[in-house]
Amino acid sequence: MTVPSFNCDRGQAFPIYIMSVGILLFVAFALFVFAQAASARSGGQSAADAAALAAAQDSRDEYTENFFRDIIDPATWVLWLEGQGEVASGAAGAAVLANENKSNLTAGPTSTRDGGFPAREVTIQTRFTGGDSVVPGIETRTAQASATAVIKPRCFIGPESDPTKLVFVHCKDGAVWEIDPKKIVNVPDLLPKPQDLFDVHLVK
């Protein structure tokens, strides 16, 4: 009768155990490094998104200001309300938001069009990295990201408008603004805000 050799079995299992632990440690290490890089990319994309939105919002505000400025001129007001006129690209706002997110604005804002609507495109470079890592280069590697934000008009001038009396602005939410061109300066609180006249959102 042969007696099983438990010591022999344990001796064979030990190398397998060591190899399994090694594989698990390698996988955990790889996931950790990937998470570091993903964190830097995610932070960079958030910074780019914020910068693009800021640029678009600055341009939206200028469209609104110009609309009120030219509200007695039917040939011009439509351009501003439809986002067709030329305005600044919103570089100041984009740079501020990029900096607040520990990033630098490296390109843009570029004035472009998306689906016929005005848009602002930016590119940023982060000033932060994925953090300390045992992998050479990870701790000094920053991230680059780009984003585009579009400005979509949401209102139109009603056919009943008379620039010498009242201008009726109809919006998608059903709101109708009655604007007296002669009283714009005196009633700013009763005028539609930029966010009433335009939607601003990221292009996916």
Q: Locate the domains of the chain by residue range.
A: 11-153
Higher pLDDT, 6 or 146: 146
Mean pLDDT, the chain, as a whole number?
A: 81
Cα 165 from Cα 152, distance rounded (Å): 28
> Is 119 a residue whose pLDDT tops 70?
yes
The DSSP code for 176 is: E
- Residue of 90, 52, 89, 42 whose CA lies nearest to 203: 52
- Structural tokens at position 27: 């996988």
Cα 177 from Cα 187, distance rounded (Å): 13
Please report which confidence band the pLDDT of residue 137 belongs to, taking 50, 70 and 90 as the band edges. Answer: low
What confidence score (pLDDT) does residue 11 get?
A: 55
Cα 127 from Cα 60, distance rounded (Å): 29
